[in-house]
Structure 1
Amino acid sequence: MFISCALAAATLAGVPQAIAADAHKHDANTPALKLNAGSKWQTDAPLREGMTKIRASVEPKLHAIHGGRFTTAQYETMGKAVDEQLAYIVGNCKLAPEADAVLHNVIAELSDGAEVVGGKKVVDDRSKGVVHIVNALNSYGQYFDHPGWKPVKAGH
């Protein structure tokens, strides 16, 4: 049986994204990141597409971020791009329930990073949000089967 990624979040409809992401992090029913009996979890085309686009909105910019040459407007654009792809993933991917539950950890980390990068969550340094996004992208690659996916190099 397969369910939509949105189904697990249905009870969070209408809740601000920060609260929804926080609820995913602290939901006792959400399993920690883990493999599927030693194998990576299966993905579907919408999930792979969304994650590829998130990566493309972040990875090429890491050098500028690391060098301190990234503007507030650029951070906001990045946050919006990540948010848009998260909405696409949540609305379109259909995974087995166990895989979906594990994916919610990755989504929560991406959402938290997007909030920091986009300025919705105030911190002293927006690049801290990029760290969350990169960590989530790398966790995704470690736990989900996405052909050709390679770890994001933070110092890229």
Structure 2
Amino acid sequence: MFALLRGAVVVTAWATLGISGAVLAAGSELHHDHHAAQPGEVKLRALKPGEKWPTDETLRKGMEAVRSAVVAAQADATANRLDAAGYGRLADSLDQQLAAIVRGCKLTPEADAAFHSVVLGPLTHDAGTMRGSPKIEIKKVALMGITQTLRHYGEYFQHPGWDANRAPAP
């Protein structure tokens, strides 16, 4: 879980994230060499008003791919046209993108810990819910959670032009 406060991010890392699919297959890659987060509680310094965590090209490109997949599925989900297989394909796509981000990111230890807690944990959890829940309504709620996490990414991480609700320009 995490709590977002005005002008600050206070992060409590999840003891178990429910990581699935390609992200789970990445295994130890989730804890790459510069990863400062350890299981348990991770406290990050408060961000100053307007300050955001730095990103790198790998993270920005990967998050744009995540956003594109989510935006493409939202209309079908809203119109109840996205079936269980469609949610599963979306979850698989997200897992692949997130695994690529984890393999290639070169963030500072503090930004990396913030990303893992504020973005990666919730995204992998919700992707797992979309894949594993037998109920379409629960899958739809998980997709809404992913959309909210994309908003948090834009609020707390430097990504010029980020808009969680639109696909990036070609």
User: How many Å separate the matches in 2 of 1:122 and 1:31?
Assistant: 37
Do 1:30 and 1:101's aligned partners in 2 also have CA atoms closer than 8 Å? no
Count matched residues. 135
Equivalent positions of 1:6-85 (< 5 A) are 17=19, 27-29=40-42, 31=44, 35=47, 38-85=50-97
In the alignment, is residue 103 of structure 1 matched against residue 115 of structure 2? yes
Aligned to 1:133: 146
User: How many Å separate the matches in 2 of 1:110 and 1:99?
Assistant: 17
Runs of at least 5 residues in structure 1 that lack an aligned partner in the other structure: 1-11
Aligned to 1:88: 100
Q: Deviations over 1:56-87 (max 9, x none)?
A: 11112212101211111110100000000110
Cα separation, partners in 2 of 1:30 and 1:114, compared to 1, 3 Å = farther
User: How many Å separate the matches in 2 of 1:115 and 1:37?
Assistant: 33
Runs of at least 5 residues in structure 2 that lack an aligned partner in the other structure: 1-15, 31-36
What is the deviation of 1:114? 0.6
SS at match of 1:17: coil
Higher relative contact order (CA 8 A, sep 6+): 1
Q: Deviations over 1:9-44 (max 9, x none)?
A: xxx9xx9726999xx8x7302549x63674111100
Q: Which has the higher helix share?
A: 1
Aligned to 1:5: none
| Identity across matched positions, percent | 33
Q: State TM-score, norm by structure 1.
A: 0.74
Q: State TM-score, norm by structure 2.
A: 0.69
